[in-house]
């Protein structure tokens, strides 16, 4: 079953309104009025049901034009069961992407060859099971790794860029801005400010 078909909107809506932790990582909520996507456990006041849509993966939400929530941190969600339970080939491909297969200059064509299929078939499987093509999934994971390093370490941005798997600082900045609509340095300032407020 595809990830899209397994998302029942009524079930997802009940889960997000209840902040049901059992659903964390199983879907993401896109808020149409803010163009932000969240985990089901987001502490922010829930949006009205008519103003939300649901996605099987963070990459699918970003592909649809939504940016990650800075409060609930989608990059910290448990691994998406939609990815893990999909077709064996997609699960293997996602594991390779998680291990950095596409971070060192290799292409989707190389990933497809490693899995014994054509690039076109691999892209079709990803769109069906993950809601986004392989490169989008890889970019989302890189940005998520970078966001975690920004929040949890004092590493310089240039070091974070390469540690997260980006080939250049320019690509890191561009991908991060595309996801968060702000530069990495601004996100670090927000995080530090929030941490001070909690003291």
Helix 88-98 × helix 119-129 angle, to 10°: 90
Indicate if 107 and 47 belong to the same structural domain: no
Tens of pLDDT, residue by residue over 98-119, are 899 998 788 999 999 998 888 9
Give whole-number Cα distances, 151 to 97, 114, 162, in Å.
Answer: 22, 34, 16
Given a contact cutoff of 8 angstroms between Cβ atoms, the answer to whether 176 and 183 are in contact is yes
Indicate if 108 and 142 belong to the same structural domain: no
Tens of pLDDT, residue by residue over 5-62, are 467 999 999 999 999 999 998 899 999 999 999 999 999 999 999 999 999 889 999 9
Indicate if 122 and 166 belong to the same structural domain: no
Indicate if 100 and 148 belong to the same structural domain: no
Residue-range definition of the domain harbouring residue 111: 81-132
Q: Measuring CA to CA, which residue among 67, 79, 28 is closest to residue 186?
A: 67
User: How open is the CA angle 16-128-28, to the nearest 5 degrees?
Assistant: 15
| CB hemisphere CA count around 161 (13 angstroms) | 17
If one counts the domains in the chain, the total is 3
């Amino acid at each position: 079953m595809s990830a899209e078909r397994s998302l029942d909107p009524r079930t997802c809506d009940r889960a997000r309104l209840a902040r049901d932790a059992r659903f964390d990582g199983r879907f993401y909520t896109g808020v149409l009025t803010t163009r932000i996507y969240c985990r089901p456990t987001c502490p922010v006041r829930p949006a009205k049901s008519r103003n939300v849509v649901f996605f099987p993966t963070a990459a699918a939400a970003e592909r649809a034009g939504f940016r990650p929530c800075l409060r609930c941190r989608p990059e910290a969600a448990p691994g998406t069961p939609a990815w893990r339970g999909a077709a064996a080939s997609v699960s293997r491909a996602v594991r390779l992407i998680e291990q950095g297969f596409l971070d060192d200059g290799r292409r989707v064509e190389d990933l497809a060859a490693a899995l014994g299929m054509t690039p076109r078939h691999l892209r079709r499987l990803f769109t069906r099971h993950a809601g986004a093509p392989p490169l989008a999934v890889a970019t989302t994971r890189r940005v998520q790794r970078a966001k975690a390093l920004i929040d949890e370490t004092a590493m310089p941005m240039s070091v974070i860029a390469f540690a997260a798997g980006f080939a250049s600082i320019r690509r890191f900045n561009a991908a991060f801005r595309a996801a968060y609509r702000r530069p990495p340095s601004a996100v670090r300032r927000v995080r530090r400010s929030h941490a001070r407020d909690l003291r």
